[in-house]
C-alpha cells in the first residue's frame, strides 16, 4: 500500500512538471516569442513583425492580418506612465504591473479617430525604457490584451 501511494505521488509530481510548457512561459508548438531588441512579446505563430521607416525613435509593429499592433519605444513614445490618466475619451482603464513594471491598459475613443484605440503603456521609470503598444479597432481584444500582458523589457 505504501509503495502504491509513493508511486501515485511520484506520478502526480511528474505530470505537474511535464505539463508545464517550458521555462520561457510559452508553448513553442502554438506560440512564439518575438524579440524586438528592447522587449519581447508572446504571440500565436501566425503573427509577423514589421518595421516602418522612421528616424525619430524605435517603432514598428506586428500583425496577423486581422489585427495590427504598433509599438513606439523609448523617450519619444510618451513622457511618463504617470501622465497616462483617464479622461473623457476613456472607455476602459486598468492599472497593473507587467513584468515587474507599472503598466496601464487603456481603451479609448479619441475625437477625430474612426476606431477605438486599445493601448498598453509601460515604463521602467528610468526615463529611457518606455513602451506604448497600440491598435485601432481590435477584432480580437482578448488576444491583443494577452499579447500586452506578455510584454517584457530586456
Domains of the chain, with CATH numbers? Answer: 25-153 (3.40.1000.10)
CA distance 36 to 47: 13
Q: Is the pLDDT of residue 14 over 80?
A: no
Quick check: 130 and 123 in contact, CB under 8 A?
A: yes
Max Cα-Cα span within the chain: 72
Each residue's pLDDT tens digit, 16-75:
333 333 445 678 899 999 999 999 999 999 999 998 776 667 899 999 999 999 999 999
3-state secondary structure 10-78: HHHHHHHHHHCCCCCCCCCCCEEEEECCCEEEEEECCCEEECCCCCCCEEEEEECCCCEEEEEECCCCC
* The three cell numbers locating residue 152: 517584457
pLDDT for residue 112: 87
Each residue's pLDDT tens digit, 79-119:
999 999 999 999 999 999 999 999 999 999 988 888 999 99
Model's pTM, two decimal places?
A: 0.81
Residues in CB range of 54: below 8 A, 6 or more apart: none
CA distance 6 to 29: 33
Amino acid at each position: 500500500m505504501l509503495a502504491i501511494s509513493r508511486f501515485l505521488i511520484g506520478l502526480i509530481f511528474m505530470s505537474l512538471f511535464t505539463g508545464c510548457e517550458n521555462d520561457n512561459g510559452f508553448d513553442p508548438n502554438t506560440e512564439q516569442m518575438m524579440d524586438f531588441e528592447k522587449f519581447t512579446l508572446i504571440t500565436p505563430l501566425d503573427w509577423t513583425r514589421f518595421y516602418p521607416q522612421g528616424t525619430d525613435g524605435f517603432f514598428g509593429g506586428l500583425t496577423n492580418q486581422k489585427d495590427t499592433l504598433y509599438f513606439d519605444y523609448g523617450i519619444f513614445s510618451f513622457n511618463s506612465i504617470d501622465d497616462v490618466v483617464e479622461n473623457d475619451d476613456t472607455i476602459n482603464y486598468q492599472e497593473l504591473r507587467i513584468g515587474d513594471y507599472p503598466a496601464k491598459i487603456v481603451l479609448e475613443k479619441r475625437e477625430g479617430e474612426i476606431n477605438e484605440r486599445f493601448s498598453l503603456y509601460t515604463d521602467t521609470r528610468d526615463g529611457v525604457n518606455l513602451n506604448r503598444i497600440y491598435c485601432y479597432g481590435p477584432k480580437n481584444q482578448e488576444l491583443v490584451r494577452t499579447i500586452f500582458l506578455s510584454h517584457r523589457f530586456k
